[in-house]
Amino acid sequence: MIRQPAGAARPPIAAAHLRTDAWWVLPVTVVIVLGAFVVYSTWAALQNAHYFFAPYLSPFYSPCLSQSCLHLTFGVGLPDVSFPIVGVVSPAFLILWGPGLFRLTCYYYRKAYYRSFWLAPAACAVRDVKRAYTGETRFPLILQNFHRYAWYVAVVFIVLLTWDALLAFRFPNGFGIGVGTVVMWVNVILLAAYTFSCHSCRHVCGGHVDVFSRAPGRYRVWHVLSWLNERHPTYAWLSLFSVGLTDLYIRLVSMGIIRDLRIL
Ligand code: FES
């Protein structure tokens, strides 16, 4: 190894990077998977149909709030929002902003899309495409700091989706369990794991405590959340797949393309 004399300037490296491994595989995969999810979820939200098949409600349309909903979550619907050319706006758009903002501002997804979509930088030891680095200190990226508040909104959605999953046992002819019931429960468990492994959650529940010995309860909670937090990227991807696949399952059953099997 050639040692640099102390104080000597490093020679400039002409190449964009010196990596010889397939570092580009991860960013390309993220672009494909995240891009596919955004396209599918936007398409599903625009459909304004096939999001309910008793007793299953798609997570993209929960809570169902507008009068045109096939399945009103609170029994009373808000007046439909409509525009002259667009017509009645899909009820999905009344609620998708909440989980959408939560994911958009998530620390893990930020890393994923900054690297994959903005190439800033695309990988470790690979040069940024943009020369200047401004971080998240200016508008609009400074708004990412609102993630801690988006977490509270996400918790409300976990409560609502748990309610939907409970209702998924209530078939028109009484109590039952179908494949859709299992699908909805897996989805809400993965979404809860993603939400409660969030860095903001870990901070709110115990991260800001200075002396743990004076707050043993908070310490225990913080300990569990730290374990979850280490797995946050895994839950981020699994819950992304589960929420999309749950909508797809209910959509296909509602369209009559597949049949929901009753387990009980
Ligand atoms: S850091 Fe990912 S959801 Fe909060």
Torsions phi, psi for 57 (to 5 deg)? -120, 130
- The answer to whether residue 20 is domain-embedded is no
Say what percent of the chain tops pLDDT 70: 94
* C-alpha 136 – ligand 1 centre gap (Å): 16
Residues 24-33 have a mean pLDDT of 96
- The answer to whether residue 88 is domain-embedded is yes
Atom from ligand 1 closest to the CA of residue 103: 3
Q: Which contiguous run of DSSP H or E holds residue 175?
A: strand 174-175
Whether 195 shows a pLDDT value over 90: the answer reads: yes
* pLDDT tens figures, 158-184: 999 999 999 999 999 999 999 999 999
DSSP for 47-89, written as a single string:
H-SS-EETTEE-GGG-S--BTT-SS-SSSSPBPPPEETTTEEP
Residues 19-33 have a mean pLDDT of 94
Query: For the chain, how many structural domains are there in total?
Result: 1
The model's pTM: 0.90
- The answer to whether residue 92 is domain-embedded is yes
* C-alpha 91 – ligand 1 centre gap (Å): 26
List the structure tokens of 33.
Answer: 């998977």
- The answer to whether residue 9 is domain-embedded is no
- The answer to whether residue 127 is domain-embedded is yes
- The answer to whether residue 259 is domain-embedded is no
For residues 253 and 264, what is the distance between their CA atoms, to the nearest angstrom? Answer: 18
* pLDDT tens figures, 57-71: 999 999 988 777 878
Atom from ligand 1 closest to the CA of residue 199: 1
Residue 72, CA distances (Å) to 23, 41, 117, 195, 199 in order: 47, 21, 38, 25, 33
For residues 196 and 151, what is the distance between their CA atoms, to the nearest angstrom? Answer: 9
* pLDDT tens figures, 122-144: 899 888 888 777 788 889 999 99
Residue whose Cα lies nearest atom 4 of ligand 1: it is 198
- The answer to whether residue 8 is domain-embedded is no
Domain of 99?
Answer: 25-254
- The answer to whether residue 166 is domain-embedded is yes
